Chains A and B, each alone.
Chain A
């Protein structure tokens, strides 16, 4: 990194410094005076935070002085933010939590919907972060299968949060033995394996129901989580399929607060469809800082996510473990019949629904090279069950020796890979 003079920014009350950092660049951020927060997590004074490949907003309620060292592709101060409404939303939720604690009831179950690129994940992060700052223990449910905030893309996850969200690492990722500054979280993950819920909505709904069932069972036992409630982040799907998913989600998690982010029509539809006694629908403006992430950026983020899973971040490096596995020791599975043909490509009257949740065995071979496979926790192959079995983790196929019928697999930790059923999705990744 070049040792350029750090750039100083002075922010007035309720202003926001927005910076975008490329993937190859590292930028250090430091709060010199005042207070500031990044997606709800407060920054410490005179602590260096390092970012790479991120688009972040540093907001201050009281005004502050910041130092930025390194080259950002975009950097500017904005003085119009929807932060007041975000904070009020949090406080309203917090009041519900207080009441829930007193009545031993359930905390708010919040569903965040909106089109792509309106800051749904950032808002969830903020609401969760605020809740954590008030000693709550909410559960974060991530239904956005394209991103994979906690584990990997292609998953539906639920994660109980107990400690503050790390500024640099975001939600942090599943438990490591490394001394991460953030918390080691223990997500419950189910494998969907497609980038959009539309790709196999039958499976998506199946997993959604299963995830909700598990979360509800945990809430029954976990008092702190029950009163703290859940925050559900969704995929940016707002067409007919999206509405159906939202309806399923509301029912499965007994959602009582729907936040519509940055979409008027969706807000009016949601109000019409779902507002009834006990369910609040509110709209929030999207932050001006939200930028559209092009597919290249999303792919990069995905890559970074996969890399982090195995190798960790520069702050806490992880050592994955490479091991050889015989073809016949694993069963590679995928859902659906080969690659699903779009309905329009099928003969008229033909219904492909039957095969959507069909489990197909895949012969290992060269085609697995560079794939990221999800290791199922299942011990036996029962079609109805294995689909709904949660994941033990992920492996990466780094080499295929077709002649010797072996594959070289990158596993997150040393030792035998615990389970033999591996899901094949569309995730590919070329290790650098």
Chain B
């Protein structure tokens, strides 16, 4: 039953347990004189704790809903409100709650949710992230084939169509001819039907990493991909060195290395390397890596320029002192984690079958025993499992037990390059031995897939540190009235020079970094969609939304919305919200109409009597006007039903007749109150007003199963009661009892129906007449019963 509620993490379990008991006791189980306001409050507060997928909370809320069927309308309203206002990452648990209630409690909840579930579901679906979307679809998938019918078919069909169209809309965003598709996006919100994505889904790493390049799937192309890997290694290394140069302009070594690397890059690009050459170069590269400050265990440490500079100046760290790559950014199934390739991780695929002397001892000294996760024997030749183990191992043991290896000078790379004939004596491109390539390079087999570093937090920080550096390079600016007046020529450069890429549609500049271009592309795509939507704005209307509550504000992040990280997804989502919001106004009108229609085809089984008796009662016609009911085929329910029929207190009425009846009762009461002339009249008034209240109170209790028609009548009574009392200043007791029992009026209901006030005299006449009619009708009714 709760197949999709995950077991919650254990640390949540403890505090949850007592809370659960609280839930059970907290929500009043008032089957009798229910107080909707109290219930609403209690339920709302319980619901607020449903911020993550917690089975106990969902269960207790479901039970509470089951015990408070009499105020189901209030509970449904509360849940709907919660689903609408909850931050996107908290919508799923609320959907699970709805799912749980309709499946386990059912009854009136089915009809109540059926009225709004389409918009509710689709609006929420549009804003949640892709994994939650999948869960939404899963939940929706269980609804049509549930043991009992949950929602009418058309309702489910509408939701399915909505889900479908949202997916398509997303897809079509990429199929726009000529539109630049940024690779950054293309793996964001995935379509589960897309085979590529399915693959990624099944691998369970789809969210942060792009699908493996074709090279991974096709081993025969390893030759070229090995070169690509090498090229990327070189480029990454170059980047690192360049950054080091920027940070520390006096760093001659880095400058030299960059120059060599640039040459190397040209060579690799322009020539076909023999496997031996490639391996050798890789090896040398592996030793050139120097620490890149990436936040290690202590968060926030070493992310800024200061600490970077410190690291560089104070200790030229051996390459293997380098921190272990952030586990989060490493795909566990990938062979070559690229960010940042510490030798421990990097070495395996660089190791050309034990032929190289320098990495070898390092490998051998890797203290496998110190790595808690890796209990595999030390893999001497490159093993597929190796990078994975290293990736998840905590950094400290590795660092602690590896004997420091002096970083080989760039010169040695240079020298060995010359040795191998890759470089001429003066650094020029030498006679490269264009040997016929062996079909398979052993090392390359495992190094087939190199993934560019995903644009994640790590990278943002490196951008940031770039900016930080330029700011700090100005020297300390004291916050004193004197110091801030000083002219600093470099200051303007900080604002304009460092971010060199600029958007041509607005002034946006992109911080310099490896994925600057990618970010800029993302930004441009955003403009493109903005502009396109601006063109569409004549077709759609937009509105401002309500602000979130205090707690939601405190806990929500703009990042939640995927503003920066997932621009496409976000826009797609907001785009959908837009459409659905446009539709909302329309939908509301439709809903109002629908309600009417459904009341016109309310079902005979609402009449809670045996079928044979029902037939007799129906044959008699409406209890008020005595006209026969028209039989109609109810398409969505696939049943015969009676037009405009409603069942109240085991009597069958035309919904409209019954409303009139109630109205005239109230009018009478009000009239009596207003006139207050005759004592006898007053007595009648109190009698009828009690009557009204009773009928109003009893209807929701006894006939919650009666569904929409009763709902409709209820609201009608309610609203008319409101009207009446407005016009004639009805006795306030009647008013409050009637309205409280029925819950608050939907505001939308009140608009169109308000009729123009007639003169009091006319009203009195009407009412007297109505009173007479009533009397006769009552007599007839009593006879019938």
Contacts and interface: CB of A to CB of B under 8 A. Distances in A.
Contacts of A217: 554
Contact of A176 (B298, B492, B545, B727): B545
Nearest to A102: B304
Interface in B741-782: 744-748, 750-751, 754, 757
Contacts of A160: 558
B564 interface: yes
A323 B547 contact: no
Contacts of A375: 546
Nearest to B506: A44
A47 B750 contact: no
B507 A37 contact: yes
A323 B748 contact: yes
A84 B487 contact: yes
A147 interface: no
A111 to B, nearest CB: 13
B551 to A, nearest CB: 9
Given A95-B476, A102-B300, A413-B581, A393 B544 contact: yes
Given A98-B305, A102-B304, A379 B41 contact: yes
A118 to B, nearest CB: 16
Contact of B507 (A103, A164, A417): A164
B375 to A, nearest CB: 35
A151 to B, nearest CB: 8
B633 interface: no
B477 A88 contact: yes
A328 B739 CA distance: 10
Contacts of B548: 186
A393 B543 contact: no
Interface in A282-303: 282-284
B550 interface: yes
A51 interface: no
Contact of B474 (A91, A134, A224): A91
A222 interface: yes
Interface string A27-49: 00000000101000111111100
A338 interface: no
Contacts of B542: 176-179, 312, 316-319
Nearest to A409: B747
B496 A61 contact: yes
Nearest to A218: B554
Given A404-B726, A416-B746, A282 B480 contact: yes
Contact of A43 (B507, B549, B744): B507
Nearest to B529: A179
A89 B299 CA distance: 28
B553 A174 contact: no
Contacts of A151: 547
A103 B477 contact: no
B304 A98 contact: yes
Contacts of B506: 43-44, 47, 164, 167, 181
A377 B507 contact: no
Given A61-B496, A91-B491, A310-B544, A177 B746 contact: no
A344 B471 CA distance: 54
B757 A403 contact: yes
Interface in A170-187: 173-179, 181, 183, 186-187
A404 B480 contact: no
B193 interface: no
B547 A85 contact: no
Contacts of A316: 534, 537, 542
Contacts of B507: 37, 41-44, 164, 167
A162 B564 contact: yes
Nearest to B486: A88
A134 to B, nearest CB: 5
Interface residues of A, number: 102
Contacts of A282: 479-481, 484
A102 B486 CA distance: 26
B488 interface: yes
B94 to A, nearest CB: 16
Interface in A132-157: 133-135, 137, 151
A280 B750 CA distance: 58
Nearest to B477: A92
Contacts of B484: 85, 88-89, 92, 282, 284
A424 B502 CA distance: 46
B744 A177 contact: no
Contacts of B563: 162-163, 183
Contacts of A104: 298-301
B530 interface: yes
A101 B303 contact: yes
Contact of B463 (A135, A309, A326, A412): A135
A306 interface: no
Interface string A376-396: 010110000000011111000
Given A188-B547, A318-B543, A178 B479 contact: no
A324 interface: yes
B269 to A, nearest CB: 33
B492 A61 contact: yes
B659 to A, nearest CB: 18
Interface string B486-511: 11100110111001001111111101
Given A92-B479, A102-B307, 8 more contacts: A43-B506, A134-B467, A135-B464, A186-B547, A222-B557, A282-B484, A404-B726, A406-B726
Interface of A: 35, 37, 41-47, 61-62, 84-85, 87-89, 91-96, 98-99, 101-104, 130, 133-135, 137, 151, 160, 162-164, 167, 173-179, 181, 183, 186-189, 214, 217-218, 221-224, 257, 267, 280, 282-284, 309-310, 312, 316-321, 323-329, 375, 377, 379-380, 389-393, 403-406, 412-418, 420
- Please give me the 3 A-B residue pairs with the lowest Cβ-Cβ distance, nearest first: A42-B507, A104-B300, A178-B542
Interface of B: 37, 40-41, 44, 81, 85, 298-307, 460, 463-464, 467-468, 471-472, 474, 476-481, 483-488, 491-492, 494-496, 499, 502-509, 511, 529-530, 533-534, 537, 541-550, 553-559, 563-564, 574, 577-578, 581, 584-585, 588, 722-723, 726-727, 735, 739, 744-748, 750-751, 754, 757
